[in-house]
Amino acid sequence: MPKLNEHYQDLKESYLFAEIAHRVAAYTQAHPDQKVIRLGIGDVTLPLGSLALAGLHEGVDAMASPDTFKGYGPEQGYAFLRDAISAYYARSGVSVDAGDIFISDGAKSDTGNIAELFDADNVILIPDPVYPVYVDSNVMSGKKVTYISGNAENAFLPMPDPAVHADIIYLCSPNNPTGAVYNREQLQEWVNYALANDAVILFDSAYEAFITDPDLPRSIYAIEGAKRCAIEFCSLSKTAGFTGTRCGYTVVPKELVFTASNGVQMSLHAMWNRRQSTKFNGTSYIVQSGAAAVFTEDGMKQCRANIQYYQENARIIADTLTRKNIRFFGGVHSPYIWFECPNGMESWAFFDELLTRAQVVGTPGAGFGENGKHYFRLTSFGNHENTLEAMKRFEKLF
């Protein structure tokens, strides 16, 4: 009989968004006449920009003729896209070698799969609250996780404790779910800590495109020394509305070399390259063709127009919470607004209350960790009318 990976027994029963979908389905079935507004899952709603669409169509057209047909591509992604992403970094003053960029089908795959490169015997710091994939992918492979506390006191931006040693550190900024953004000094402190501990930072910058303040770092590589300690994950999901089109990228600098127990020097870049070459066959050429259009200056202008639309929604939500004197985080350089549930409610109870009394769907903070138990996440990815309507109902409720 096969011995199964019993670490799966240590996973929490149900994935957050499945449970939300389940409760919403039950409610709408019982109340088919009610208009439910979804500000829960972080999914975009605006169509792709015309340049991305043209790039995708061109990608399909290439498949129509033997002269332009594309079979297996490089597992690391096509040079045209890696170069375009490198140039995109350069435009915000960050130097990233195209050869260090790996194209993938999304940051969820990469942030999940990266755990494969590490042994179970590591001190792994993960913020609480946090995007559940970091924790679950480690639990699945039998790794122990140490939580670092994000809370109202530190504005949900946990900082390193020099007295505590770590080997691997997950950071997400702008943060999912809290919307909090590390500034340059704070990230420098994390990089210094990582270098002092010979640790690796796994930095998720999937929401970087929502940062409008030029003083806030949009990449860990804007920080001195980061290439010697950090891997960065990014995605076109929120930048370009690719949640259903699927494209992400991961930067693994060649500088990341560590000594194994037998004295052999092992390069994380070489390991990730081997992992991807063995268990991944590259991202669809069609998708890469569309993605390359996104990273042109005009393509990015179209993306920014969509992002501004969402940012206006965030402002609508933030204004309502401010009027209601509800403390919140995020909502400025992030599509997420994270607030304390009114009247000391727990987040799943508040979820049910908001769903049944205002027909608005949000995300219970408890789904992101212990520290989210009394918090709630709304997203700005709806359309204006729905967001306005949801906030009207919200104001009436409290």
Number of residues that bind a copy of itself (CB under 8 A): 86
User: Which 151-180 residues touch a copy of itself, going by CB under 8 A?
Assistant: 167-168
- Binder among 15, 147, 309, 398 for a copy of itself (CB under 8 A): 15
- Binder among 27, 28, 45, 87 for a copy of itself (CB under 8 A): 45
Dihedral-angle region of residue 386 (phi above 0 means left; psi in -120 to 50 means alpha; beta otherwise)? alpha
186 phi/psi in degrees, rounded to 5: -65, -45
Question: Per CB under 8 A, does 19 bind a copy of itself?
Answer: no
Question: Per CB under 8 A, does 263 bind a copy of itself?
Answer: no
Tokens of 17: 């968004």
Q: Taking each helix axis from N to C terminus, what angle separates 347-358 and 16-30, rounded to the nearest 10 degrees?
A: 30
Stretch that binds a copy of itself, among 103-111, 148-156, 182-190, 360-368 (CB under 8 A): 103-111
Strands 363-364 and 101-104, sheet pairing:
unpaired
Determine the Cα angle at 268 with ends 266 and 274, to 5°: 95
Nearest residue to 247 (alpha-carbon basis) of 237, 255, 257: 237
- Shortest Å distance, C-beta 231 to a copy of itself: 11
- Shortest Å distance, C-beta 320 to a copy of itself: 24
Asked if 255 and 43 touch (Cβ cutoff 8 Å), the reply is no
- Shortest Å distance, C-beta 10 to a copy of itself: 11
Cα gap 157→177, rounded to integer Å: 12
Stretch that binds a copy of itself, among 68-76, 81-89, 145-153, 350-358 (CB under 8 A): 68-76
Identity of the amino acid at 44: V
Nearest residue to 331 (alpha-carbon basis) of 169, 177, 117, 138: 177
Stretch that binds a copy of itself, among 38-46, 83-91, 311-319, 350-358 (CB under 8 A): 38-46
Stretch that binds a copy of itself, among 89-97, 117-125, 174-182, 337-345 (CB under 8 A): 117-125
User: CA 81, 83, 88, 92: dihedral to nearest 10 degrees?
Assistant: 160
Nearest residue to 370 (alpha-carbon basis) of 129, 92, 136, 189: 129
Annotate 11-24 with three-state secondary structure: CCCCCHHHHHHHHH
- Binder among 92, 183, 259, 356 for a copy of itself (CB under 8 A): 259
- Binder among 262, 297, 325, 385 for a copy of itself (CB under 8 A): 262
Question: Per CB under 8 A, does 199 bind a copy of itself?
Answer: yes
Question: Per CB under 8 A, does 250 bind a copy of itself?
Answer: no
- Shortest Å distance, C-beta 169 to a copy of itself: 10
Tokens of 341: 């549930």
- Shortest Å distance, C-beta 374 to a copy of itself: 26
Cα gap 392→395, rounded to integer Å: 5
Helix (H) or strand (E) holding 231: strand 230-235
Question: Per CB under 8 A, does 349 bind a copy of itself?
Answer: no
Question: Per CB under 8 A, does 284 bind a copy of itself?
Answer: yes
Question: Per CB under 8 A, does 384 bind a copy of itself?
Answer: no
Question: Per CB under 8 A, does 274 bind a copy of itself?
Answer: yes
What lies within 8 Å, CB to CB, of 64 at 6+ separation is none
Nearer to a copy of itself by Cβ, of 94 and 236: the residue is 236
Sign of CA dihedral 10, 111, 159, 211: negative
Nearer to a copy of itself by Cβ, of 116 and 395: the residue is 116
- Shortest Å distance, C-beta 8 to a copy of itself: 5
Question: Per CB under 8 A, does 308 bind a copy of itself?
Answer: no
User: Which 47-66 residues touch a copy of itself, going by CB under 8 A?
Assistant: 47-48, 50, 52-53, 56-57, 60, 63-66
Question: Per CB under 8 A, does 388 bind a copy of itself?
Answer: no
